[in-house]
Amino acid sequence: MSKRFQSIFVSRFLLALGLLASHFCLVRCLGQDSEASLREADFFESRIRPILVEHCQECHSLATQKSSGGLLLDSREGWHKGGDSGAVIVPNKPAESLLVRAVRHGDGVSPMPPTDSGRRLSESQVQDLEAWILRGAYDPRQQAPRLGGMDAEQARLWWAFQPIKSIEPPAVMHPEWVWNPIDRFIVAKLEAQRVDPVLPASKQAWLRRVTLDLTGMVPTPEQIDVYMADDTPNANETIVDRLLASYEHAERYGRHWLDVARYADTAGDGADYPVREAYKYRDWVIRAIHRNKPWDQFLREQIAGDLYAQDLFKQGLGDGKTDALEEYSDLVTATGFLAIGKRYGYAPNTDFQHLDFADVIDSIGRSVLGLSIGCARCHDHKYDPISMQDYYGLYGILQSTRWAFPGGEEHKRPANFPPLLPPQQVRQLEEQRDSQLRELDASIQAAQVQRSKLDPSFHAGGIDLDLEAQEIGKPPSKAWLSAGPNQVTAESQSPFEHIFGQGSRGVRIGSGTPHEGVRYVFAQKAKLIDKPLFFTIDFRIPKSADGSQDPDGSCRLYLGRGVIESTAIECSITKNQFAIKDAGQWKVIGSLETDKWYHLQLKLDPGDMTYSGGIYGLEFYAQVPKVALPTNWDRIADTFICDGFGHGSSGVITRELDNVGLDTEAFAPFGSAPFVRPSKTPAGQEAIASLDQQIKALESQRANIATQVLYPVAYGVGEAESVDARIQLRGEPSKLDQEVPRGYLAVLGGHRVDPTGGQSGRRDLAQWLTDSSRPLAARVFVNRLWHWHFGKGLVSTTSDFGLRGSDPSHPELLEYLAGRFMESGWDVRALHRLIVLSRTYHLASYSSDSNDPLSAHKALELDPENRLLWRHTKRPMDAESLRDSILSICGLLDRNVPKEHPFPPVDSWGFTIHNPFHGVYDSMHRSVYLMQQRNRKNAYLSLFDGADPNLSVDERKPTTTPTQSLFLMNSPLVHRASESLATRLIESRQDQSSRLQELYKITLGRFPSDQEQQECLDFMRVYSGQEASIALGDTELKTWSALCRVLMTSNSFLYID
């Protein structure tokens, strides 16, 4: 009986037991209780249970795996808990019970059974239900305690969750078949099945296999010579150690992990923004493997590296030792694992974050634990013991994390990338820059003030608002932005002349929608740091057109950074009131009249972060009392807006504005003498021109400093404010249910993040995932490594160790390897060594000569899929191995680690879903370094079944298609490579035969047989004859190129024996 059948059997059995138990309970109840109880039980069994079974449970029961609307009606707990719309039965109150409304087809509920089922309860059935509820809804059906999709008891017993057992390799009948402990497990099983393994592969075949496996490239002729000449007993060990220590090995196995980690170089949002820093994570993975970082640490750093980096910093990294700084940078980079998934948003907000998180949770689950946790997003897992509580417990951890934003359609610049320097150094650098910028700003402002004093056409005090230059009869334009029925008019000129002098026009803003109005963005951001800021404006509310009645509505004056991004001051004006926003509340501070001009002056004080001032008019004054500036204002004022979001009754009022000014120096007080503009002089003009030049130079200097890269950053994560997440019913963030404390899967211990710790919980998570008392991470990894070596894991579903996953073919071997792996301190290299030096790994794929054909026949019949490992299964080279091998044999491969991808400069990024990023960068580097987009696949990699970077990939599924063969026949790569190889052969060797020997060694790792040699010579004779007859260039080169092509596209090249 297979394990799956066993578990089905067990669950059936438990179900039967459950039924028995409930009957037993019923009987016992009867013994104790009164006749009333008997009547209730009777009523339920005879009237209610049949209705539920016949009409409801098809869609609302665990037995049918359906809980439509989140509701179960197969147990009392089911309806107690209720569905997405809440409780459905209120005992004693049929009228308040949703169930009754639904079966009565009442308003506001979905009719049940659904109308398209064509069924409807009879009136008497409905009355029975009502009577049952009225009598208290007696229901003897008890649910077995559950965890996600599994009976809780059963879940605890699931093999993958058991602690790792200490296993001794079994004794075998054929000890001569055993080279190391792995072989004992394999041989024992073969013996039990009476299957003989095939003989070991030839030396050359094994060398080619192990080299391709460990480095992703064919062995070089030199490597072959050295190995073939080495007849010491340790020849295999020597070669394996050399391969494992090579950087090529790290690149190869790094790529394996990058499949699982869903690596790509773009964000995968609609516009597919490039991620310039993605490669740092890729290179970190490769470096970590090259250093043989213990696997548990490797995993932990990818979850919480930034936190370990902080520890490092606290331990006194401050003195800036280079090694420590490098380690700091590496640890932060490692968290790229979390950040690198497909992104769904357009701006750094939370609109689509639930989808980003779904990707992260799913990827952590599959890659580290071999569990499909992502399935519990919308409902409890259907099969595995994972509940929505589990999912949202992890979700909270991610929500308490700060995520690098790669850029997107709405917000086109990357943001929140964690620095690769410790905070103190980052602060220093930033402060340095800020002070440089502050100095420059001050110089720019000083020059502007100076300029304004010389320029007669300059109207707006410190910063030019240029209303006076606008055209009468039109909405204000340029520098100003206008929406709605607005007009510059002569009538809207303010009568006050003490600041701007005599003017000729102002702006009249009509009553459109609240969003409409005027906006002015100041050329320089004014910052309230040490000096005060001053703001002034004149305004009037005109009477309605015919002058008969006072208009209704209000308008708002806004000063702050951006379009209501960070607010400093908000005032509101109606026909008779002036109000200011104080601590979020409108506060009326003065009475106004229509048709009268008022003058407002405010002073913003950086000392106590308040503002105050006054409203002045002819025979009018109202004080603006000291009001605290909003605490969340970032002290930058660069935008003035007048829109319709004021206080008072709804609607927008028509208003007139003039003489707007913002300055770092105080404006002339109300009542001072009229300001007189300087007159135009040649000397003044010259001075202005020189100032303009000065300002321009300063501004460009400022832009340079402002956009300078201060310190390197990574595409990773950091800490954010810690929060617990609420369950999202059906996975929809708008349907929030109860809050779940941050924590770990219940079935693996259900640990909770300490809520008082003020941390996201990633540190805990990293620990839980790799804690040696919890066996999944080690089991999943040793199985993955086995899969990478053999093409199939001992558990063939390498990222699914749950109920739907496959059973281990050699459970004891898996236990043994996992145990040994943990004992070794999660030493990956030792595990590689153990596997590739086993006799099992050394077996031939098939050999017609040296095997007993009868035995092979039997093995094939018994085990066609080779699950018992009686031979080595041939595998095609994957996309990367194929390209890297072709490039390497023809000498075109660039073995250096390349620099970052040549993405367009970030200032030019304007990608949208309409015009997404697309890049193709030629490269002669190893394929792991090719730029890979999420939304536009790399054509070559996708042709040869490369990993889809949009999800965690545990297994490449090789296909054999004619379009691949077309590539091998006609692609520029293969032709260029074959010509290059041919040139090398022709140049390095004189005679045909030695060239052939070399060609076979380079491509296939062996020498040609006599027959093959003859076939090649025959081919060349005919080919060159034909080639010469059409006389198209170098016949010898063309002929040898053709032969090289044949060999590098032949089965013996493409498949790993």
Partner 1 sequence: MRNNRRDWIVGSGRGLAGIAFAGLLSGNDRAFCSAQESSDPLAPRPGHHAPKADRIVFIYSTGGVSHVDTWDYKPKLYQDHGNKITATRWLNKPGAFERYLIKPRWTFSQHGRSGTWVSALFPNLATCVDDLCVLNAMVCDSDGHDKGTLAAHTGSAQFARPSHGAWVSYGLGTVNQNLPSFVVLAPNPPYAGAQCWGSDFLPGCHQGTHVIPGDQPLAHLKPRVSNLAQQTLELELLEKFNARAVRNSPLDPMLEARMRSFQTAFGMQIQAPEAFDLTSETQATLDMYGLERGQTKGFGWQCLIARRLAERGVRFIELIDTGSNSAENWDSHGNMQDHERLAKMIDRPICGLLQDLKARGMLERTLVVWTTEFGRTPFHQTADHPGREHHNLVFSSWMAGGGVKGGVVYGESDEYGIEPAVGQVHTHDLHATMLHCAGLDHERLTYRHAGRDYRLTDVAGRVVQEVLL
Near partner 1 in 255-274, by CB under 8 A: 269-270, 272
d(CA 1016, CA 1024): 12
Q: Which of 533, 521, 522, 525 is nearest to 610 (CA)?
A: 533
Member of 531, 596, 804, 895 binding partner 1 (CB under 8 A): 804
Segment lying near partner 1 (by CB under 8 A), choices 596-604, 649-657, 893-901, 969-977: 969-977
Comparing CB distances to partner 1, the nearer of 330 and 800 is: 800
Member of 800, 815, 878, 880 binding partner 1 (CB under 8 A): 800
Member of 479, 483, 521, 860 binding partner 1 (CB under 8 A): 860
Segment lying near partner 1 (by CB under 8 A), choices 171-179, 581-589, 704-712, 956-964: 956-964
The reply to whether 854 sits near partner 1 by the rule CB under 8 A is no
The reply to whether 916 sits near partner 1 by the rule CB under 8 A is yes
CB of 941 to partner 1, least distance (A): 10
Q: Which of 703, 763, 619, 702 is nearest to 308 (CA)?
A: 763
CB of 936 to partner 1, least distance (A): 5
The reply to whether 945 sits near partner 1 by the rule CB under 8 A is yes
d(CA 454, CA 26): 100
Size of the site for partner 1 (CB under 8 A): 86
Member of 437, 636, 862, 1042 binding partner 1 (CB under 8 A): 1042
Return the DSSP state at 467: G
Question: Scanning the structure block, which residue is given the tokens 């409409």?
Answer: 516
- Residues 700-759 interacting with partner 1 (rule: CB under 8 A): none
d(CA 517, CA 1057): 75
Member of 489, 845, 855, 992 binding partner 1 (CB under 8 A): 845
The reply to whether 937 sits near partner 1 by the rule CB under 8 A is yes
Residues 6+ apart with CB under 8 A from 291: none
Segment lying near partner 1 (by CB under 8 A), choices 321-329, 809-817, 939-947, 983-991: 939-947
Member of 43, 620, 670, 846 binding partner 1 (CB under 8 A): 846
Classify each residue of 407-422 as buried b or exposed e, where b means 16 or more C-beta atoms within 10 Å of its C-beta.
bbbeebebebbbbbbb
CB of 875 to partner 1, least distance (A): 9
Member of 632, 704, 907, 914 binding partner 1 (CB under 8 A): 914
Segment lying near partner 1 (by CB under 8 A), choices 251-259, 672-680, 792-800, 982-990: 792-800
Helix (H, G, I), strand (E, B) or coil at 900: coil
- Residues 580-599 interacting with partner 1 (rule: CB under 8 A): none
The reply to whether 358 sits near partner 1 by the rule CB under 8 A is yes
CB of 60 to partner 1, least distance (A): 15
Helix (H, G, I), strand (E, B) or coil at 569: strand
Question: What residues does 520 pair with on adjacent strands?
Answer: 480, 640
Member of 620, 645, 1007, 1023 binding partner 1 (CB under 8 A): 1023
Member of 95, 618, 703, 966 binding partner 1 (CB under 8 A): 966
The reply to whether 1045 sits near partner 1 by the rule CB under 8 A is yes
- Residues 974-993 interacting with partner 1 (rule: CB under 8 A): 975
CB of 384 to partner 1, least distance (A): 7
Determine the residue type at 441. Answer: D
- Residues 155-214 interacting with partner 1 (rule: CB under 8 A): none
CB of 970 to partner 1, least distance (A): 4
* 992-1004 vs 1035-1048: helix crossing angle, rounded to 10: 30
**φ, ψ for residue 263 (rounded to 5)?**
-75, 140
Q: Which uninterrupted H or E stretch holds 819? A: helix 811-823
CB of 729 to partner 1, least distance (A): 15
d(CA 687, CA 691): 6
CB 928 within 8 A of CB 261: no
Comparing CB distances to partner 1, the nearer of 220 and 1052 is: 1052
The reply to whether 239 sits near partner 1 by the rule CB under 8 A is no
The reply to whether 876 sits near partner 1 by the rule CB under 8 A is yes
Member of 967, 980, 1002, 1006 binding partner 1 (CB under 8 A): 967
The reply to whether 65 sits near partner 1 by the rule CB under 8 A is no
The reply to whether 118 sits near partner 1 by the rule CB under 8 A is no
Neighbours of 165 (CB within 10 A): 12
CB 338 within 8 A of CB 360: yes
Helix (H, G, I), strand (E, B) or coil at 337: helix
The reply to whether 962 sits near partner 1 by the rule CB under 8 A is yes
The reply to whether 961 sits near partner 1 by the rule CB under 8 A is yes
Member of 230, 327, 582, 948 binding partner 1 (CB under 8 A): 948
Segment lying near partner 1 (by CB under 8 A), choices 177-185, 306-314, 395-403, 941-949: 941-949
Handedness of CA 677, 683, 685, 687 (dihedral sign): negative
The reply to whether 899 sits near partner 1 by the rule CB under 8 A is no
Residues 6+ apart with CB under 8 A from 146: 62, 152, 380
**Helix H segments across 365-400?**
388-399
Comparing CB distances to partner 1, the nearer of 685 and 971 is: 971
Helix (H, G, I), strand (E, B) or coil at 89: coil
d(CA 425, CA 658): 47
Member of 104, 342, 842, 984 binding partner 1 (CB under 8 A): 342
d(CA 83, CA 955): 38
d(CA 754, CA 758): 8
Q: What is the per-residue binding string for partner 1 in 66-105, x denoting contact by CB under 8 A?
A: ----------------------------------------
Q: Which of 998, 1037, 879, 870 is nearest to 947 (CA)?
A: 879
The reply to whether 915 sits near partner 1 by the rule CB under 8 A is yes
The reply to whether 383 sits near partner 1 by the rule CB under 8 A is yes
The reply to whether 355 sits near partner 1 by the rule CB under 8 A is yes
The reply to whether 815 sits near partner 1 by the rule CB under 8 A is no
- Residues 754-783 interacting with partner 1 (rule: CB under 8 A): none
CA atoms within 13 A on the CB side of 762: 29
Classify each residue of 850-883 as buried b or exposed e, where b means 16 or more C-beta atoms within 10 Å of its C-beta.
ebeeeebebbeeebeebebbbbbeebbbbbbbbb
Q: Which of 914, 499, 781 is nearest to 666 (CA)?
A: 499
The reply to whether 1022 sits near partner 1 by the rule CB under 8 A is yes
Residues 6+ apart with CB under 8 A from 356: 341, 342, 343, 344, 345, 403
CB of 355 to partner 1, least distance (A): 6
d(CA 553, CA 648): 7
Segment lying near partner 1 (by CB under 8 A), choices 417-425, 533-541, 675-683, 943-951: 943-951
The reply to whether 1050 sits near partner 1 by the rule CB under 8 A is yes
The DSSP result for 821-879, as a single string, is HHHTTS-HHHHHHHHHTSHHHHB-S--TTTS-HHHHHHHHHH-TT-TT-SSPPPEE--H
- Residues 599-618 interacting with partner 1 (rule: CB under 8 A): none
CB of 238 to partner 1, least distance (A): 29
Determine the residue type at 457. Answer: S
Q: Which uninterrupted H or E stretch holds 537? A: strand 533-540
